[in-house]
A = this chain, B = another copy of it.
Amino acid sequence: MAVGLRDASAVRPTGDGTWSGAIEPGWDIAGNANGGYLLTIAARAMVEAAGRPDPVSVTAHFLAPGKPGPVTVEADVVRAGRRFVTASAVLRAADRPLVAALGSFTELGPSGGPERVDGTPPALPPPEDCVAVHATDTFPPPFMGRLDLRLHPEDAGFRDGTPSGEPLVRGWFRLADDEPVDTIALLLAVDAFPPTIFNARLPVAWTPTLELTAHVRARPAPGWLRCCFRTRFVTGGFLEEDGEVWDETGHLVGQSRQLALVPRGEG
């Protein structure tokens, strides 16, 4: 049975700054839960600890792979300000730390300040003309069954062995069954697309994420999200992947950057 993100990331307080939850089956890639999904579980506990509904900036360091089963989140408020509350969290499975997180939370609303936007949402064919990614037991991974992901046709060639040559992945995102995307679900959106490196024509098959930081600028309007992920620097044994997420009204709702490892053995 399909479980929506809201239920799959739910946490219950167990007292003393600790919450319990579960890594649900079906959110995995080759058996390991997607990192963005793990972060949404930690973020739900942080939101509750902080008493603020919206993450503004959240960073996760990924420490160990997550398998389906019970988890606990220890979430502590470091500082409660008038507008922002900063909290740290560690997500654990059987006392093994899987994710360490640090974030600031607020209640997002209209800003009223000056605006300047040097960028536009990625140009994408309509969702029905993009490449839908359907889940399989292996690749595409089961995790894709929880999402509705549509890749720009120019960026989808890696799937049949014809990568574009540009470490760029653009596409549409929404949750399965039209589940609304709140600001916590954005933490999943920024880690849900195939790695940019798949399009790079480099001898790299797997880039484990060390760290992911997501900034949330606004609550997304209902509907599809336009997403764009790009890598400029594969060097020093690392690569960054920069993401932008725009909503259907054309507003930038989030930015992300992750640092991933480029395994040495495959070069």
A233 x B119 contact (CB < 8 A) = yes
A118 x B232 contact (CB < 8 A) = yes
Contact of A259 among B100, B215, B218 (CB under 8 A): B215
**Given A112-B237, A112-B267, A113-B237, A56 and B118 touching (CB < 8 A)?**
no
A174 interface hit (Cβ, 8 Å): no
**Given A217-B233, A218-B236, A264-B113, A63 and B79 touching (CB < 8 A)?**
yes
Contact with B along A68-109 (1 / 0, CB 8 A): 000000000011010010101010000001001111100010
Q: Which partner residue on chain B sits nearest A83 by CB separation? A: B261
Interface size on A, residues (CB 8 A): 59
How many chain copies? 2
A22 interface hit (Cβ, 8 Å): no
Q: Which partner residue on chain B sits nearest A201 by CB separation? A: B116
Contact with B along A254-266 (1 / 0, CB 8 A): 0101010011101
Closest-CB distance, A83 to chain B (whole angstroms): 9
Contact of A63 among B81, B237, B252, B255 (CB under 8 A): B81
Interfacial residues of chain A within 216-267, with CB under 8 A of chain B in the complex: 217-218, 231-238, 240, 251-252, 255, 257, 259, 262-264, 266-267
Report A's interface with B, CB cutoff 8 A.
Answer: 56-57, 59, 61, 63-64, 78-79, 81, 84, 86, 88, 90, 97, 100-104, 108, 111-119, 167, 200, 202-204, 210-211, 213, 215, 217-218, 231-238, 240, 251-252, 255, 257, 259, 262-264, 266-267
